[in-house]
Amino acid sequence: MSDGAIPEQHPFMARFEHLLARSGLSAPFGSGPLGKWIARQKWFYAPSLLNFGYALRTTIASLIALGIALWWELGSPQWAPLTVWMIAQGSRGKSLAKARWHMFGMVVGTFVAFTLVAAAPQQPLLFILLLAASIGALCFIGTLLPGPASMANYRMHGMRASGFTVSIISLDGISDPEHIFQITMARVTYITLGIVCETVISSLFQFRLNERARNRLADNYIVAMKPTANTLGALLGGDKDVLRTSAEMMTTLAGLGDQIEFAEIEMGRHGHEGDHARAALSGVAALFSRGLDLSALMDDPATYGPYWRALAARSRTFLLSLPERLRDPDEFTAVMTELRDLRATSRVDAATCLAREMEMVTNPPVNVAQETVITREGQALHVLGDMLDELRKSLAQFDASRNPPAHDHFHYPIQTWRDWRQATGNSLRASVSMFVAGVIWITTGWPQGLFFLMFVGIINSLFSTLETPAVATRAFLHGTICVIVVSTFMAFIVMPAITTYEMMALCFIPVMMIGGLAFSNPATILGAVAYNLFLTILISPFNDERMLDEVTFFNTAMPLFLTMAFCMWMYRVFLPLDPDGVRWNMRAQILLMLRKLARSRYPLMSHDVIGVSIERMVRLLNTVGGRRGPVIDAYLHGVLSGMTVGLAILNLRAVLERGALPSAAARDVQEMLVRMAQFTGRYGGHYGRTERATSGAVAALVRLEQSETNLSQRVEILRALASLRVIAAELSNNRLFFDASSPYLDPVFS
């Protein structure tokens, strides 16, 4: 629900809570179970102004859509407010993005529904097969679209909306194929009406939209930079393991990156601020990866020479003060000046170390121990300089997002990493669930089977693309139970006493507001989705005297409840989520990526390696609902280690492509990459060979570097040696993760 930034508490609510505390009215609840439960319901009795505004405007929009549908005397007016709740979001950008893709999905779903009804008008089994295949195909395509598998991915929502549209049109049309055009036009009218009402009403609640969107881009970058700067500052202070326990920073970057697209929509895409913001966040991730390289080099005590200690202390002070200084635009010039000074100092110090090495090499005999100390310090200074350079690039993009240059043509596209295995699993899960539900309808001859099948199609379209559909449908079931209870009260007690639309709207306001506030609370969001979607479906307001009786209400509520129970059961039985299997496949994918990076003619770029690693960490946390434990922490550490090794391989390939390495050194590096191209698989047993090849290449380049008198070749040797040392350190420190012949904390594979 949030826009990416954490809103402060409204002053009125702060004074209200302070008054309660002083008066003692909040004391009776205490800190016991009752008090904790009441505190968790704060979203209801003390919502923030932002959440209250969302609930209010969405309630108004849904009631206007319902009123227009009744005024036009449409046959099923309840679908219009349902569409409003489907696309309503907390910010203007999110609502517009979701409305746009919902409209696209409606068009696609309409054509698919037409085709299904035309292909099998009198063949129920064939129709069910085609319907199941269509829902599965839409889920397959949706999983491969850019963005994470979450409700925030509105490209994926377009495919969800397509499945939703196919279900509600084709299942009504198959029972009356001669009137398929009228049915389709009615459904399209409901959906379009809901989209128009929501987008118009939400626009009235947005003030200074362009300015707020720009400020959000800057705030999101500072939010991402603060933990990163603090972590790198701790690293430079001597905490070598701090990066290994901070995977949340990388997953936060993925979430903040999603917000950029919504800000672009709010600004109207008149500039390239969003492209610069994406590049700036990508620079933060690259900065983190440089920190991983540095932490591997810092394992050697020889790194801590006088030049290193002085520059590390200055850089640490700069990083810790950076987030607060970025909030002041007038301070940016001073920040960049200080950063340039730090970068120049790192170059001078690294050059000084290199000059001392050359002096020792050209005046034998060489003191190997002293030369090694100087070399290690010089390599660490060089990597620290690269890290500061990444920070400079990221800050330059941040400034361009805040102050876009004239005639700007910069473009930084949204990255996409497709998981074909996951897409296939999601497709099969949706298709089989839909087919089984259709078979139940055909074999039982259930009069309400079409309702059941329609709800199954809606649920499959919404949840089959999620990484934990069984957990999501369980929360959805809880929301369904709540909406059935509320709808029972509304349909049997409130609605029979209402004779005008105005009175009905007044009665709907409190129950809709509850659903909107619940949607604003992260802990109840999935249950609130079910509540908001099915509230008007169950109450079913009409223009004429067709008020719901007990039988009609039961014949609508029972298929809905059985749908949720059926889908939750299917998701647990057919292709259920296996966290152990997800982790095992992730390890295999990381090892395969390293092999491809070493041997592929056109390997991934460095930002792709970083991006796909972030996606893996997000998925790893999603499979356990964000709950951390020793196994998850170890796997997060392994993903970071795999990213570090992958980036080091790319650095080695870049050194080889420049062709400045001595032939002997190039041969050693090439042999190591050949071994990496055969890196360990499940039964390969190549881990030990690769580790020995890496250690051997390090030893060989160290000997060559100690006797190399050509300055340019010595620099290239030192660059290759730094990357080899990073790989050797990661392979040694994470043997259990990289050696796939071991189960690595997963007993099921032992």
Distance between alpha carbon 548 and the CA centroid of its chain, in Å? Answer: 42
pLDDT confidence of 91, banded at 50, 70, 90? Answer: confident
Helix (H/G/I), strand (E/B), else coil: 367: coil
| Rounded mean pLDDT, 637-660 | 90
Q: How far apart are CA 589 and CA 679, in angstroms?
A: 12
Other beta carbons within 10 Å of 436:
17
The pTM of the full predicted model, rounded to 2 decimals, is 0.81
Listed in order, strand segments (DSSP E) in 515-555 are none
- Report domain extents, the chain: 11-26+47-207+416-573, 216-402, 581-749
Question: Is the per-residue pLDDT at 152 higher than 50?
Answer: no
> For residue 148, what pLDDT band results from cuts at 50, 70 and 90?
very low
pLDDT in tens, 520-575: 888 888 899 999 999 999 988 876 554 567 788 898 899 999 999 999 999 989 88
Does the structure show a pLDDT above 80 at 627? Answer: no
Torsion of CA 208, 211, 217, 222, to 10 degrees: -100
Write the secondary structure of 96-112 as one string of H (helix), E (strand) and C (coil): HHHHHHHHHHHHHHHHH
Q: What's CA 674's distance to the chain center, in Å?
A: 35
CB atoms within 10 A of CB 575: 17
| The pLDDT of residue 750 is above 50 | no
Q: Closest by alpha carbon to 583, among 642, 636, 627?
A: 636
List, in sequence order, every beta strand (DSSP E) within 593-699. none
Q: Could you tell me if 715 and 355 are in contact, meaning their C-beta atoms sit under 8 angstroms apart?
A: no
Question: pLDDT at residue 366 above 60?
Answer: yes
Instruction: Determine the pLDDT at residue 94.
Output: 77
By the 8 A CB rule, do 373 and 305 touch? Answer: yes
pLDDT of residue 3: 42
pLDDT, position 528: 92
Q: Which residues of 258-291 are buried (b: 16+ CB within 10 A; e: fewer)?
A: bbbbbbbbbbeeebbbbbbbbbbbbbbbbbbbbb
CA–CA distances in Å: residue 138 to residues 144, 437, 464: 10, 18, 10
Q: How confident is the model at residue 322 (pLDDT cuts 50, 70, 90)?
A: very high
What is the topology classification, in CATH, of domain 216-402? Methane Monooxygenase Hydroxylase; Chain G, domain 1 (1.20.58)
Percent of the chain with pLDDT over 70: 88
pLDDT at 2: 40
pLDDT at 348: 92
Alpha-carbon span 597 to 209, nearest angstrom? 44
CA dist., res. 644 & res. 738, Å (int): 13
pLDDT of 151: 43
More confident: 258 or 656: 656
Q: Is the pLDDT of residue 146 over 70?
A: no
Average pLDDT for 698-722: 84
